[in-house]
Amino acid sequence: MKHASIMFGALALGACASLPSAPTLGGEPAVVFPVAPDAPEAWQAYGVSGEAPQTDWLTQFNDDKLIALVNEALAANPSIRSQFYAVEATRAQARSTYGRTLPNVSASASAGGTSTYVESVDDRFDDPSYGVGVDLSWELDLWGRLRAGINAAEADLVAGEADLASARLALAAQTASAWFDLNEALAQERVAVETFEARTRALELTERRLSRGLSSALDVRTARTTQASAEASIAGRRQASGNAVRRLEILLGRYPSTELEAFAELPELGEIPPAGNPTLLLTRRPDIAAAEARVTAAGLRAEQARLAMLPSLRLTGSVSNTETDLSDALDPSRVAARLIASLTAPIFNGGALDADRDAAVARAQSAVESYAATTLTAWREVEDALAADTLLAQQEEAQLRALEEARLAEELATRQYTNGLVSIFNLIDSQTRRLNAESNVIAARSARASNRVSFHLALGGGLPVAEPVAPNVASNNSPEEAVLP
């Protein structure tokens, strides 16, 4: 059977490649690998293609505080720190797997004695006993089974490191989106305050008209109702902005004290520039790299399970000595040595090895299918973000036109109401339309900014910030000596 990395290596060649057929086990196919999903040469939703996207995607928002917050989150978020230590555990496990393939040498020393009573002389004799020994045990890797285990552990480490990179990128995206959500919430709170102020002006104007006999009590009651509703809306918006602050503070590893300040401003974005293509995406996404590494690890373990059915060769040896005198026990000339080479092969184990092999092969096929699913999901995420950006840009443009018309309509309604040409309902309606249009513009810009973040997350874009100082694990792996960032 070919090396398992050859079995799965074609996955890295791109979406247009197909996987080779699996070798046979006992004359029957072990796994029938599916053809990897096909991909077009350019993104369908936008038609862009070219080189990989640059790693400065956060700078397009022209927000230094956003970059600082992302840096802080990457350095202080406890979930990322936890994942770092999970990778360190996988790294240590890989070292352990390798170490177990090397010769195992152990030393022993003993001291004791026997006490014997001799009836003929009516006396007791004590005989001391001293022993030293060295034992050696080593399984030779006749068929590559142990090497397959080492390579599988290394593939697990690659997958863990890719998972960490994916988690860091996801955290950066979550932090950016939370920042935009906070600014949107504060901007919507500002609109709510403006709404209250507009309702208050309408109420004052109506009361003045009532005092001159130009309005009715119904108009005053209506104006007071809308003012009270606007006041209630302010409280709701402040609750939303407080929740947004606390969510962001948690991502930063801070206590949720609502002390973080924002500007209530959202970026005005241009079109998405050309950024990669579907095939290039497979070389950029860390989650795809993790899935590919797990395919490799599963294939190697399937190979291990097959090789476990073959004979194994083990060398065992020992040198030992037991004497009644300590100096004699340490005398090299008195040491006894023994070396044994044993060849063992499984004959009957109730089908356990066959079942182990079948389970490993099924897990390998499952990993291949998971890789294909991850790839399809990655492509969909990019296509969704590209299509959404175009539609959100159209929404933002239309909402800006609506806002301008609503402002002009409100000014006209205010003049006409002051002159008694329209009713209070016309004024309130024009105010409502203008305030709703302003709120819709804010929501559209926030949605487009968050979608832009999702686009770069889907592309697997790098981070424009320096790598945070990772927890420094001492060489002896002592937890007491670990220095946290």
The per-residue pLDDT for range 226-242, each reduced to its tens digit, is 999 999 999 999 999 99
The pLDDT of residue 408 is: 95
Q: pLDDT band for position 317 (50/70/90)? A: confident
The Cα 227–Cα 234 span in angstroms is 11
Work out the pLDDT band at 279, boundaries 50, 70, 90.
confident
Residue 122 pLDDT level (bands cut at 50, 70, 90):
low
pLDDT in tens, 357-410: 999 999 999 999 999 999 999 889 988 998 999 999 999 999 999 999 999 999
| Region of residue 264 (phi > 0: left; psi between -120 and 50: alpha; otherwise: beta) | left
- Mention every residue, 6+ apart, whose C-beta is less than 8 A from residue 7: 19, 20, 22, 23, 33, 299
- The answer on pLDDT for 2 being more than 70 is no
CA separation for the pair 282, 292 (Å, rounded): 10
Helix axes 217-251, 145-211, angle to 10 degrees: 160
Q: Give me the pLDDT at residue 87, please.
A: 93
Q: Does the pLDDT at position 3 exceed 70?
A: no
> Is the pLDDT score of 447 beyond 90?
yes
The 10s digit of each residue's pLDDT in 39-70 is 666 555 543 333 444 456 788 888 899 999 99
Q: How far apart are CA 183 and CA 177, in angstroms?
A: 10
What distance, in Å, lies between the first and last C-alpha atoms of the chain? 47
Q: Tell me, what's the pLDDT at 363?
A: 92
Cα 232–chain centre separation:
40
Q: Is pLDDT of 176 > 90?
A: yes
CATH 3.40.50.970 assigned to domain 4-17+34-102+147-308+369-475? The reply is: no
pLDDT band at 349 (very low <50, low <70, confident <90, very high): confident
Identify the pLDDT of residue 46: 44
Q: What sign has the CA pseudo-torsion 63, 68, 74, 77? A: negative
**Residues 420, 424: Cα–Cα separation, whole Å:** 9
Distance CA 61, CA 67 (A): 9
So where are the chain's domains?
4-17+34-102+147-308+369-475
Sign of the CA dihedral running 36, 38, 42, 45? negative
Asked if residue 7 has pLDDT above 90, the reply is: no
Specify the residue for token string 């970026």: 267
Whole-number pLDDT of residue 41: 62
Tell me the average pLDDT across 456-480.
53
Q: Please state the φ and ψ torsions of residue 92, each to the nearest 5 degrees.
A: -65, -35
Could you tell me the two tokens for 64?
A: 């230094």
What average pLDDT does the segment 146-170 reach?
91
Q: In the chain, pLDDT over 70 holds for what percent of residues?
A: 80
> Which pLDDT belongs to residue 466?
45
118: which strand partners?
123
Identify the band that residue 337 occupies on the pLDDT scale cut at 50, 70 and 90.
confident
